[in-house]
């Protein structure tokens, strides 16, 4: 596997930005691709520094794209940068222009932790034609309550959370038969547990194909390292 640390210029956010990439060196065909998203206090280096994701990717001949959106919640901010446009449109276009990656829906995935779990689930719910499956670990699953209580979140989302940024509302507008498969996990000591329980129950009630689980643990890398490997197995990436 090759590990590439690169900087690209983004028209969407108007500046240079970092992207880390794990990619097979001798793939017979364009490899499956995983967009792996970081949490609120992290950047594009976090997954490589804190987990064994490179080993997990090597076993599966998988390319992994790890961008940064700083504290922008993978959203076109009300007061700030267009991180949703960057991660959902511009980043994939640039990665496909630079690397030989599969363009098949069945080989395109997204996953993330905390803020990145929110981003990965939003990618799946807003772009179901692109992603076969998505995973969120300890996800910031219910942003509506957080926006009403946080000035930082109001700068990102505005005074009220729009439907396009509300995972609950997005799910209600999407037919389960068109949706990607969804994997969710949260630790039983995690401060985001209630939000994950409510979103997973909402998705199940709507008829989505979802695997939701809980186990001992809090908001911590040991658990996310375990869960990314389990999610890749559940995705069925060979």
Q: How does residue 147 score in pLDDT terms, banded at 50, 70 and 90?
A: confident
pLDDT > 90 fraction of the chain, expressed in percent and rounded: 93
Can you read off the two tokens belonging to residue 226? 């375990």
Band of pLDDT at residue 150, cut at 50, 70 and 90:
confident
Q: Which stretch of 2-11, 118-127, 150-159 has the lowest confidence by average pLDDT?
A: 150-159
- More confident site: 154 or 4: 4
| Segment among 25-34, 54-63, 109-118, 133-142 with least mean pLDDT | 25-34
Q: In what order do the strands lie in the sheet with 108-113?
A: 2-10, 15-23, 62-67, 32-37, 108-113, 133-137, 181-187, 210-215
In whole numbers, what is the pLDDT of the chain averaged over residues? 96
Q: Has residue 229 got a pLDDT over 70?
A: yes
Closest CA to 134 of 165, 110, 168: 110
Whether pLDDT at 185 is above 80: yes
pTM to 2 decimal places: 0.97
Give the pLDDT score at 27.
Answer: 84
List of residues 6+ apart from 93 with CB closer than 8 A: none
Q: Taking 90 as the threshold, does the pLDDT of residue 50 lie above it?
A: yes
DSSP string, the chain: -EEEEEEEEETTTTEEEEEEEEE-SS-SSPPEEEEEE--TT--TTHHHHHS-HHHHHHHHTEEEEEE--TTSTTSB-TTS-BHHHIIIIIHHHHHHHHS-----GGGEEEEEETHHHHHHHHHHHH-TTT-SEEEEES----HHHHHHH-HHHHHHH-SS--GGG-HHHHHHTS-GGGSPEEEEEEETT-TTHHHHHHHHHHHHHHT--EEEEEES--S-HHHHHHHHHHHHHHHT--
Beta strand 210-215 with 181-187 is: parallel
Half-sphere exposure of 224 (CA within 13 A, CB side): 27
Q: Which fold has domain 2-235?
A: Rossmann fold (3.40.50)
Q: How much is the pLDDT for 219?
A: 97
pLDDT tens track for 203-215:
999 999 999 999 9
Cα–Cα distance, 211 to 227 (Å, whole number): 12
pLDDT category at 148 given cuts 50, 70, 90 is confident
Chain segment 99-115, per-residue pLDDT in tens: 999 999 999 999 999 99
pLDDT at 11: 98
> Using one digit for the tens of pLDDT, what is the confidence trace for 214-225?
999 999 999 999
Torsion of CA 110, 209, 163, 89, to 10 degrees: 30
The predicted pLDDT at position 149 comes to 67
């Amino acid at each position: 596997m090759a590990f590439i640390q690169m900087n690209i210029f983004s028209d969407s956010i108007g500046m240079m930005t970092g992207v880390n990439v794990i990619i097979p060196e001798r793939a017979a065909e364009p490899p499956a691709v995983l967009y792996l998203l970081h949490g609120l206090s992290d950047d594009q280096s976090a997954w490589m520094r804190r987990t064994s994701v490179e080993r997990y990717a090597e076993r599966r001949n998988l390319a992994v794209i790890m961008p940064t959106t700083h504290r922008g919640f993978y959203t076109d901010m009300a007061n700030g940068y267009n991180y949703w446009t960057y991660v959902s449109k511009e980043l994939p276009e640039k990665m496909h222009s630079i690397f030989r990656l599969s363009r098949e829906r069945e080989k395109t995935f997204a996953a993330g932790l905390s803020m990145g779990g929110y981003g990965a689930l939003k990618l799946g719910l807003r772009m179901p034609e692109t992603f076969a499956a998505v995973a969120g670990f300890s996800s910031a699953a219910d942003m509506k309550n957080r926006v009403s209580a946080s000035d930082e979140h109001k700068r990102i989302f505005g005074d009220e959370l729009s439907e396009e940024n509300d995972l609950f509302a997005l799910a209600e507008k999407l037919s389960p038969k068109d949706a990607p498969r969804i994997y969710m996990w949260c630790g039983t000591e995690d401060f985001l547990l209630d939000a994950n329980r409510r979103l997973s129950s909402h998705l199940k009630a709507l008829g989505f194909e979802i695997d939701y689980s809980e186990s001992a643990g809090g908001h911590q890398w040991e658990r996310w390292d375990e869960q990314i490997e389990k999610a890749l197995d559940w995705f069925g990436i060979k």
